[in-house]
Amino acid sequence: MGMRHVVVGIMVLGMAAARPAAGAPPDGMSPSLSPAARPNRPEPLARQHGKASFYSDRFGGRKTATGETFSQNKLTAASRDLPLGARVTVINRRNGKSVDVKVNDRGPYVRGRVIDLSKSAARKIGLGTQGIAPVTVEARPSVQETEELREAVRQKAVAQKPQPPDTSVALAGEGLRYEFRE
């Protein structure tokens, strides 16, 4: 064994000995504040199931509920229930594709629909020419831009009845639809 191997081995052992034990708090941090001491609680999740559609071209250039000018090219959406400005993930339950959008308008006002998407967002999840698809909409407090939005989404999530996570994957083709659930 060469001198280089001995030196490298001693360095590795020295670094391992200098590190605190796994789960131990860093110097100066109270054990109750260390990540290892905190319970691993899942983040509350505001979730909606329903249908998504996309905006008609006639809305292009109009003002949204937030005062922004609507554009089919931006990744935006309209929701009746979620806070304006919230960041949400929309998952197409037919093909599993998802897109992250910003809620900047109110709607849709059609029964059974939970979200209206810009055409750009609709294309990303494969909404296609039919323009309507079953979706799951998820809002997480941790991805919101402001504390006010984080709290609004957290309250929305806590107020919902607990729902099991949607682990289904749907496959479609030749007029058949198969759905697999864990």
| CA–CA dist 127, 16 (Å, integer) | 52
Per-residue confidence band for 34, with pLDDT thresholds at 50, 70 and 90: very low
- Is position 51 within any domain? yes
Q: Please count the structural domains in the chain.
A: 1
- Is position 7 within any domain? no
- Is position 39 within any domain? no
Per-residue confidence band for 12, with pLDDT thresholds at 50, 70 and 90: very low
| CA–CA dist 53, 127 (Å, integer) | 8
- Is position 2 within any domain? no
Only one residue has tokens 């949400």, namely: 88
User: What is the CATH number for 141?
Assistant: 2.40.40.10
| CA–CA dist 90, 100 (Å, integer) | 6
Per-residue confidence band for 19, with pLDDT thresholds at 50, 70 and 90: very low
| CA–CA dist 54, 39 (Å, integer) | 41
Tally of CA atoms within 13 A in the half-sphere of 118 that contains its CB: 22
Per-residue confidence band for 39, with pLDDT thresholds at 50, 70 and 90: low
Of all residues in the chain, the percent with pLDDT exceeding 70 is: 66
Q: How many CB atoms lie within 10 A of CB 162?
A: 9
- Is position 125 within any domain? yes
Is residue 145 within 8 A of residue 85, CB to CB? The reply is yes
Statement: the pTM of the whole predicted model exceeds 0.85: no
Tell me the residue range of the domain where 157 lies: 46-161
**30-40 b/e (C-beta count within 10 Å ≥ 16 → b):** eeeeeeeeeee
Burial of 80 (0-12, 13-18, 19+ CB in 10 A): middle
Only one residue has tokens 């402001």, namely: 146
- Is position 135 within any domain? yes
- Residues facing 101 on adjacent strands: 88
Mean pLDDT score, 126-153: 94
- Is position 121 within any domain? yes
